[in-house]
């Protein structure tokens, strides 16, 4: 088992156009990022994350940006996969993360400093041998992590929900959906009365039809109410996302498996509204042309009486070009405005564009985090800013917006990581010799993040750790003057 975290600096240029709004393009070599989350630390500093592959190993990337000083840093977590909404800044100079420990199967929770020092990475088992983290929420100093437990060789899924404190200690773990074939959690949100709302895809045993499900829990994981739509018109074909609105209603969105006409796409998007007690009160159908395609990656409550939906759009009339899509709705689901965005370098229909996360700022502007997938190159990540009307440049704002940006690219190719072997080890650990001369410092930490030994200068090719008890440790390396890696090491 090899777990490697890489820390390297990124140097690239920000071009500020359209009344000095942020506009940053980030490119990669040897890493194909799938953008996930955007987190605001303060007015100048942001974090964003992605799932990616470093070589053949699945992993994740977190990048910090200082928009004022142009200082950028990156950490790559090999064999750890973050999930949606799985990174947060807790206000005390700490970063919290949640996802899958790909090397072992269970879920993990971790805490990092803003300089990407690892304070802990803890893994937890669930009730099955196959588990996939699928959602997370950070609320009132606690972390709620959702996962899917697979049983009966993948023929039945249960919803697992765990609660952790900020030190990564598991406070409770509950499973739901034992009487279903599928109970797949997509999102966790908080309510105005400080409870939890879970949105999941539900399938009865023997039914083979997916239904939207909402469940309200208290903070101890006790069920308050559950709503499952059994209507034939609510058969779903895509993820279910939710937002708690300012009027205490809840909106849930999903595509439905309901052909309407030859002119309308076979799977229109539904917005379904519930009151605070889980009773359905209204719904809206978002139709679009038959040969176009629209997908929502998320819906999110705004800072006022409105909410946003965002994702991607494919336009058949424009040679199937794809766009980043952002829509602003009122509380009844009526569109206030709809905008589509493209980067000028990626207009060709072979590219795929989609917004992955947004952050509404105090001044009403919206920071947008999107991804560009290209079939002939590595994927890109794009961070840009629009005003409260969805415009990057108000003078040229329209339904479709081509946003000018810098063409300078980032050389974000990570250095070769430290490899300690064998792992697990009986105490004698070897370091890969081809990078040994480039390592300045190696530090050994226990699972609580405490430094217990270090090596510097002439680093030995073999470390003798037989004096330490069995358990999980972390080897942190300084590579060419930078905190370049952290490997999870098991002593047995």
> Does 474 fall in a domain?
yes
Residue 10 banded pLDDT, cuts 50, 70, 90: very low
Whether 477 and 469 have beta carbons less than 8 Å apart is answered as: no
Picking from 268, 241, 239, the residue whose alpha carbon sits closest to that of residue 358 is 241
Q: Are residues 384 and 465 in the same domain?
A: no
Is the pLDDT at 327 greater than 90, yes or no?
yes
| pLDDT, mean of residues 391-419 | 72
As a whole number, the mean pLDDT across the chain is 84
Higher pLDDT, 130 or 332: 332
State whether residue 15 is helix, strand or coil: coil
pLDDT computed for residue 129 by the predictor:
63
pLDDT computed for residue 234 by the predictor:
62
Which of 23-37, 221-235, 454-468 holds the top average pLDDT? 454-468
Task: Give the rounded percent of residues in the chain with a pLDDT score beyond 70.
Answer: 84
CATH code of the domain containing 479: 2.60.40
pLDDT computed for residue 155 by the predictor:
74
d(CA 293, CA 118): 41
Tell me, letter by letter, the H, E, C secondary structure of 215-279: EEECCCCCEEEEEECCCHHHCECCCCEEEECCCCCEEEEEEECCCCCCCECCCCEEEEEECCCCC
> Does 431 fall in a domain?
yes
- Please state which of the ranges 8-17, 93-102, 372-381 shows the lowest mean pLDDT: 8-17
d(CA 46, CA 422): 38
List the domain range (segments joined by +) for residue 62: 3-402
Assess whether the previous peptide bond of 467 is cis (omega < 30° from 0).
no
> Does 307 fall in a domain?
yes
Q: Are residues 118 and 261 in the same domain?
A: yes
pLDDT computed for residue 117 by the predictor:
80
Q: Are residues 236 and 385 in the same domain?
A: yes
Question: Quick count: other Cβ atoms within 10 Å of Cβ 32?
Answer: 16
| pLDDT, mean of residues 396-403 | 90
Q: Are residues 331 and 474 in the same domain?
A: no
| pLDDT, mean of residues 365-382 | 87
Higher pLDDT, 429 or 54: 429
* Pairing verdict, β 80-89 and 321-330: unpaired
Phi, psi of 434 (to 5 degrees): -70, -15
Q: Are residues 171 and 270 in the same domain?
A: yes
Higher pLDDT, 474 or 49: 49
Whether 126 and 108 have beta carbons less than 8 Å apart is answered as: no
Q: Are residues 361 and 433 in the same domain?
A: no
Q: Are residues 152 and 243 in the same domain?
A: yes
Tell me the two tokens of residue 174: 């509950």
pLDDT computed for residue 475 by the predictor:
82
Residue 410 banded pLDDT, cuts 50, 70, 90: low
pLDDT computed for residue 30 by the predictor:
64
With the C-alpha atoms ordered 177, 182, 187, 191, is the resulting torsion angle positive or negative?
Answer: negative
Whether 7 and 63 have beta carbons less than 8 Å apart is answered as: no
Higher pLDDT, 204 or 234: 204
pLDDT computed for residue 198 by the predictor:
95
> Does 408 fall in a domain?
no
| pLDDT, mean of residues 287-299 | 90
> Does 122 fall in a domain?
yes
Q: What total number of domains does the chain contain?
A: 2
Q: Which of 368, 402, 436 marks a domain boundary?
A: 402
H helices present in 379-431, as ranges:
none
Question: Quick count: other Cβ atoms within 10 Å of Cβ 398?
Answer: 9
> Does 188 fall in a domain?
yes
pLDDT computed for residue 439 by the predictor:
78
Is the pLDDT at 361 greater than 90, yes or no?
yes
Q: Which of 355, 375, 402 marks a domain boundary?
A: 402
Is the pLDDT at 381 greater than 80, yes or no?
yes
With the C-alpha atoms ordered 182, 188, 191, 194, is the resulting torsion angle positive or negative?
Answer: positive
pLDDT digits (tens, 9 = 90+) for 411-443: 555 555 667 889 899 999 998 767 777 777 888
Q: Are residues 75 and 202 in the same domain?
A: yes
> Does 164 fall in a domain?
yes
If you ran DSSP here, which 8-state letter would residue 11 be given?
A: -
Q: Are residues 247 and 175 in the same domain?
A: yes
CATH code of the domain containing 213: 2.130.10.10
- Provide the CA 398 distance to its chain's centre, in angstroms: 29
- Provide the CA 21 distance to its chain's centre, in angstroms: 24
d(CA 37, CA 8): 20
pLDDT digits (tens, 9 = 90+) for 455-484: 988 888 899 999 999 988 888 777 654 445
Tell me the two tokens of residue 287: 């139709």
Question: Quick count: other Cβ atoms within 10 Å of Cβ 461?
Answer: 10
Is the pLDDT at 363 greater than 90, yes or no?
yes
Q: Are residues 346 and 460 in the same domain?
A: no
Q: Are residues 170 and 253 in the same domain?
A: yes
pLDDT computed for residue 380 by the predictor:
86
> Does 265 fall in a domain?
yes
d(CA 397, CA 399): 7
pLDDT digits (tens, 9 = 90+) for 297-325: 999 999 999 999 999 999 999 999 999 99
Q: Are residues 385 and 449 in the same domain?
A: no
pLDDT computed for residue 403 by the predictor:
86
d(CA 115, CA 483): 9
């Amino acid at each position: 088992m090899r777990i490697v975290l890489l820390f390297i600096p990124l140097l690239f240029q920000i071009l500020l156009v359209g009344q000095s709004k942020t506009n940053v393009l980030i490119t990669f070599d040897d890493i194909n990022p799938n953008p996930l989350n955007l987190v605001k630390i303060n007015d100048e500093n942001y974090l964003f994350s992605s799932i990616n592959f470093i070589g053949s190993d699945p992993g994740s990337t977190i990048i910090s940006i200082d928009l004022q000083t142009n200082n950028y840093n990156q950490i790559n977590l090999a064999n750890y996969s973050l999930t949606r909404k799985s990174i947060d800044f807790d206000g005390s100079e700490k970063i919290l993360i949640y996802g899958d420990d790909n090397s072992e199967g269970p879920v993990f929770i971790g805490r990092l400093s803003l300089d990407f020092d690892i304070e802990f990475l803890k893994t937890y088992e669930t009730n099955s041998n196959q588990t996939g983290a699928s959602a997370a929420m950070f609320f009132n100093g606690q972390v709620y992590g959702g996962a899917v437990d697979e049983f009966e060789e993948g023929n039945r899924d249960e919803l697992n929900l765990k609660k952790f404190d900020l030190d990564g200690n598991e406070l409770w773990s509950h499973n739901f959906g034992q009487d279903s074939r599928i109970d797949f959690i997509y999102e966790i949100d908080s309510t105005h009365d400080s409870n939890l709302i879970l949105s999941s895809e539900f399938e009865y045993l023997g039914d083979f039809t997916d239904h939207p499900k909402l469940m309200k829990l208290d903070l101890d994981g006790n069920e308050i109410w559950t709503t499952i739509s059994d209507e034939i018109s609510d058969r779903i074909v895509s993820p279910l996302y939710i937002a708690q609105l300012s009027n205490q209603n809840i909106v849930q969105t999903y595509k439905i498996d309901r052909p309407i006409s030859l002119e309308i796409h076979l799977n229109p998007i539904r917005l379904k509204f519930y009151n605070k007690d889980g009773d359905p009160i209204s719904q809206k159908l978002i139709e679009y042309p038959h040969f176009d395609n629209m997908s929502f990656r998320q819906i999110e409550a705004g800072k006022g009486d409105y909410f946003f939906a965002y994702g991607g759009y494919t336009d058949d009339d424009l040679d199937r070009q794809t766009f980043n899509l952002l829509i602003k709705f009122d509380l009844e689901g009526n569109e206030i405005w709809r905008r589509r965005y493209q980067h000028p370098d990626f207009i060709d229909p072979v590219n795929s564009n989609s917004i992955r996360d947004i952050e509404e700022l105090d001044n009403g502007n919206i920071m947008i985090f999107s991804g560009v997938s290209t079939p002939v190159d590595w994927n890109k990540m794009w961070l840009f800013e629009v005003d409260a009307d969805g415009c990057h440049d108000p003078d040229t704002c329209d339904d479709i917006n081509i946003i000018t940006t810098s063409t300078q690219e980032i050389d974000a190719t990570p250095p070769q990581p430290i490899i300690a072997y064998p792992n697990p080890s009986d105490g004698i650990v070897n370091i890969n010799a081809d990078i040994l001369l480039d390592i300045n410092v190696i530090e050994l930490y226990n699972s609580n993040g405490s430094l217990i030994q270090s090596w510097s200068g002439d680093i030995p090719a073999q470390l003798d750790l037989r004096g330490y008890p069995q358990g999980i440790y972390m080897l942190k390396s300084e590579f060419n003057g930078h905190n370049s890696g952290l490997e999870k090491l098991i002593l047995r």
